Amino acid sequence: MSINHLVRENILRLTPYSSARSEYEGRAEIFLDANENPFDTGYNRYPDPLQRELKAKISALKGVAPEHIFLGNGSDEAIDLLTRIFCEPGVSHVITLPPTYGMYRVSADIADVAVKEVPLDKNFQPDVEAILAAADSHSRLLFLCSPNNPTANSFALEKVKRLAERFPGIVVVDEAYIDFSGQPGCISLLRDYPRLVVLQTFSKAWGLAGIRLGLAFASEEVIALFNKVKPPYNISQLTQEAALKALENRQQQQEWIQQILGQRALLAQFLSGLPFVQHVYPSDANFLLVKVDNPRGIYDFLVQRGIIVRDRSRVALCEGCLRITVGRPEENEQLFRVLEAFGLKRER
Ligand SMILES: *Cc1c(COP(=O)(O)O)cnc(C)c1O
């Protein structure tokens, strides 16, 4: 079944920017077509607009054909493009499940697209029936963040599948934290669900937030739409090179993940023992959501000692909570010491 009925009309009609370069690659030696500086700096030429070498490597790693992969300037670009491809301002809406990642709403707000919020249930799981009840023919995107930021849990795969089957629009599963999760992730579902989009990123487990590289896995039809709408050279040469280098050293990434998981367990154990900590939520991510007696007091105490965490205490369903990223061992030890000092101060 085509997804054309979900695509904005102007996007269907659009003639994308075309560069002549790709047509002649390997068949010519002198390129005087793009007004580049001819002197070699290593970066004087425009980068490959389809990042073919990088996609081939990612394809091998993920077991997904390159035609099913889009690379964006961070996942944030993929989120923004999805909003602009599928949502008609003032007519369509997207559905988010708060508490969740803030960019879904920001992208919708920029595009003047309404946001319907269907809160997670008390176990931080999607309320499938409530989501389907909120959905109609104007629902274009459903954002599922799993593992979810800031609640740190994964969504039950059965719920994701039911939504992928029954939601009338595009179902986006944001897997920014999937490498820290015990759960398998949704890439294997793509075959069965043509309206599913899976987002991943180089910003977390790969340690490359600074290069800005996000991935979207989807049907060829959705990927073709991404490619039609994206800026032609959205992934710089520098970024493509840095990502290729990282992919050559997969073992480093695996080591970081193991260290972070070890530190996450230590941090959870330590926090659970503090008298002012009410609850440490289970985590499938590289951060912990922690419910405490006096979130603002602790936050300020940490800031005064040079440690910044995220105050989520005024977010619905996260009342009283701080979100703490797992740091390097010495950073976590420093955090332990300062939190112990906070406890002592309180006793006095
Ligand atoms: C950190 C994060 C991302 C990463 O976004 P990039 O633009 O790829 O850096 C995406 N989604 C969620 C939920 C995140 O927390």
pLDDT at residue 334 tops 90: yes
- By CB neighbour count within 10 A (0-12 exposed, 13-18 middle, 19+ buried), where does 13 fall? exposed
| Total Cβ atoms within 10 A of residue 68 | 20
Full DSSP string of 45-64: SPPPTT-HHHHHHHHHHHT-
Q: How far is Cα 279 from Cα 276, in angstroms, rounded to an integer?
A: 9
Q: pLDDT confidence of 348, banded at 50, 70, 90?
A: low
Q: Is residue 21 predicted with pLDDT exceeding 80? A: no
**pLDDT at res. 54:** 98
Closest ligand 1 atom, residue 77 Cα: 7
Cα(25) to ligand 1 centroid in Å equals 34
Q: Which residue is closest in CA terms to ligand 1's atom 5? A: 75
- At 16, the pLDDT band (50, 70, 90 cuts) reads confident
Q: Return all residues near 8 (Cβ < 8 A) that are at least 6 apart.
A: 84, 85, 86, 87, 88
Q: What is the mean pLDDT of the chain?
A: 96
Q: How far is the CA of 273 from the centre of ligand 1 (A)?
A: 31
Q: Is 145 in the pocket of ligand 1 (CB under 6 A)?
A: yes
pLDDT at 95: 98
Smallest CA separation from ligand 1 atom 15, residue: 149
Question: Who has greater pLDDT, 182 or 154?
Answer: 154
Tens of pLDDT, residues 81-117: 999 999 999 999 999 999 999 999 999 999 999 999 9
Report how far residue 322's alpha carbon sits from residue 344's, in angstroms, rounded to the nearest whole number: 20
pLDDT at 1: 67
Q: How far is the CA of 214 from the centre of ligand 1 (A)?
A: 8
In the predicted model, what is the mean pLDDT of residues 273-283?
A: 98
Please work out whether the CB of residue 203 comes within 6 Å of at least one atom of ligand 1.
Answer: yes
CB distance 74 to ligand 1 below 6 Å: yes
* Ligand 1 binding pocket mutation candidate from 77, 97, 101, 144 (most atoms within 8 A of CB): 101
What pLDDT is stored for residue 194 in this prediction?
93
3-state secondary structure of 131: helix
Percent of the chain residues topping a pLDDT of 90:
93
Domains and CATH numbers, the chain: 4-248 (3.40.640.10), 251-347 (3.90.1150.10)
* Residue 271 CA from chain centroid, whole number: 27
Which residue is closest in CA terms to ligand 1's atom 1? 176
CA 11–ligand 1 middle distance (angstroms): 26
User: Is ligand 1 within 6 A of the CB of residue 174?
Assistant: yes
DSSP state letter for 198 = E
> For residue 66, is pLDDT > 70?
yes
Q: Quick check: 3 pLDDT over 70?
A: yes
Q: How far apart (Å, rounded) are the C-alpha atoms in residues 267 and 261?
A: 10
